[in-house]
Amino acid sequence: MLYDKARIFVQGGAGGNGCLSFRREAHVPRGGPDGGDGGHGGAVVLVCDDSLRDLQTFKRKAHYKAPRGRNGEGAQRHGADGEELVVRVPPGTHVTDWTGATFDLVLPGARVDIARGGSGGRGNKRFAGATRQAPRFAERGLPGAEGWIDLRLKLLADAGFVGLPNAGKSSLLSRLTRAAPKVADYPFTTLEPVLGTLEGEDRQLVLADIPGLIEGASEGAGLGHDFLAHVERTRLLVHVLDLAPLDGSEPESNWATIERELERHDAHLARLPRILALSKADLVSAQDAERAAAAWRARLGPDTPVLITSSATRLGLDELAAELLRRVPLERPRAVDELAAEQELAEHRVFRPGADRAWRVEHVGEGAFRVSGEPVERLLARHDLDNDEALAHIEHRLHRMGVVRALQAAGFEPGDDVEIAGVVFELDRR
């Protein structure tokens, strides 16, 4: 069973709370504020690890929570940051987070900060100033980012075997590599992609045997559709075409069916280089096989090698192996470079601090207003609302942010109710 999909919950650690504390010294009757800051919460980080082959580990464990930051302490001691939680995924993992942002983990060692930790709260020491020498409040740490993420594994094979069910794909893979896929005389024997390694003199190629495709596969018919995603990243396709289909169908129309489905799934697949492997040559005469091959060469042109093969007699298998080793480019494929570039961009996107400064003010009824938006909601989350001094601080910040001015512009008068993040205040009580 190939586990190529998983859904997991990730949660960055909460920030530690800032500390409310005053210095105590034998000779100083009333010491100054000395509460330290809370530590940052740990992040959940996805790391690409090439010792992993699939997403199996996520079947057993679906929740990943990074540790929280420690609380600040007196004597200006800051809380320790929470450690990051590393979640390892195999190369070829495609990630979609809860906002819809996507990331590809292709190269071993690549990292994505998938759930940031919350920032720590500031200790009361930080709020001391000329006008407020003894602040009796400290900030709370903020919660970390959290949500469900979807993981999808797209195999990273060099070449993919495609063809109708029963065409002989698995038989070829089992002859060319040490993989032992199931082979049987009924369609859809192969239910999941199987990988095998073709050993060349100086290099190895990873070959993927894909479940048989049928008419309509690109729209979801049969099994192949789910697995077409796996051939997206191959560099070459081996189209396996049965010379003597048992069901009496025409090789020409069988060939066209597969090519059409590949094209419909993704135009990029249609442009990948091909090898046409005419299969089961032992079931037809040598002359018929040669005649068919000549016709295919004429039809496909010089860029597509056409080989006569038989898994039963090993006819043409050395040639197929040699052709694969020759055709799969030595240099890292462009697609992977592009993915790596995207990956850097993706990481960039992740590490950029939230730039959203937006909040808005609404008049929701007689003497009632609502303020929404991340910065104001964060301000509230930061503080203990039962603490008068903290409330005064919030009010001060709302003035500074221009929220009170905006409220006044909307018709607010001192004493009116203002709701922020579900909490109702009376602002500007004077």
Ligand X SMILES: Nc1nc2c(ncn2[C@@H]2O[C@H](COP(=O)(O)OP(=O)(O)OP(=O)(O)O)[C@@H](O)[C@H]2O)c(=O)[nH]1
By the rule CB under 6 A, 280 interacts with ligand X:
yes
Footprint on residues 132-171 left by Mg ion (CB under 5 A): 170
Type and span of the H or E element at 403: helix 403-409
Give the Cα separation of 310 and 168 in Å (integer): 9
In the complex with ligand X, which residue's Cβ is closer, 288 or 388?
288
Which tokens is 375 given? Answer: 């910065």
The runs of H, that is alpha helices, within 238-352 are 251-265, 267-271, 286-300, 317-327, 334-351
Long-range contacts of 406-413 (CB under 8 A, 24+ apart): 406/361, 407/361, 407/369, 407/371, 410/361, 410/362, 410/363, 410/369, 411/363, 412/369, 413/367
Are 177 and 200 in contact by the 8 Å Cβ rule? The answer is no
Contact with ligand X (CB under 6 A) among 44, 95, 167, 320? 167
Binding-site residue total for ligand X (CB under 6 A)? 24
Contact segment (CB under 6 A) with ligand X among 48-56, 169-177, 396-404, 410-418 equals: 169-177
Site stretch for ligand X (CB under 6 A), options 54-62, 114-122, 230-238, 305-313: 305-313
Closest distance between ligand X and the C-beta of residue 260, in Å?
17
| Binding-site member from 155, 279, 293, 343 for ligand X (CB under 6 A) | 279
**Other CB atoms closer than 10 Å to residue 286's CB: what's the count?**
11
Using CB under 6 A as the binding rule, whether residue 251 contacts ligand X is answered as no
Q: If you count DSSP H runs as helices and E runs as strands, how many of each does the chain have, helices first?
A: 11, 18
Check if the beta carbon of residue 284 is closer than 8 Å to that of residue 247: no
Binding test (CB under 5 A) with Mg ion, winner from 124, 177, 190, 234: 190
194-199 and 204-209 beta bridge pairing = antiparallel
**Contacting residue, 189, 197, 372, 408, with Mg ion by CB under 5 A:** 189
Q: Rank residues 201 and 247 by Cβ distance to ligand X and give the closer one.
A: 247
Element of type H or E holding 364: strand 360-365
Q: How far is the CB of 219 from ligand X (least distance, A)?
A: 19
Interacting residues with Mg ion between 36 and 95 (CB under 5 A)? none
Of 77-85, 178-186, 268-276, 402-410: span binding ligand X (CB under 6 A): 178-186
From the list ligand X, Mg ion, none, which binds 166 (C-beta under 5 to 8 Å, kind-based)?
A: ligand X
- Determine, following the binding rule CB under 6 A, whether residue 316 of this chain makes contact with ligand X: no
- 89 DSSP β-pair partners: 48
Q: Which residues bind Mg ion (CB under 5 A)?
A: 170, 189-190
Q: Which residues bind ligand X (CB under 6 A)?
A: 163, 165-171, 183-185, 187-190, 211-212, 279-280, 282-283, 310-312
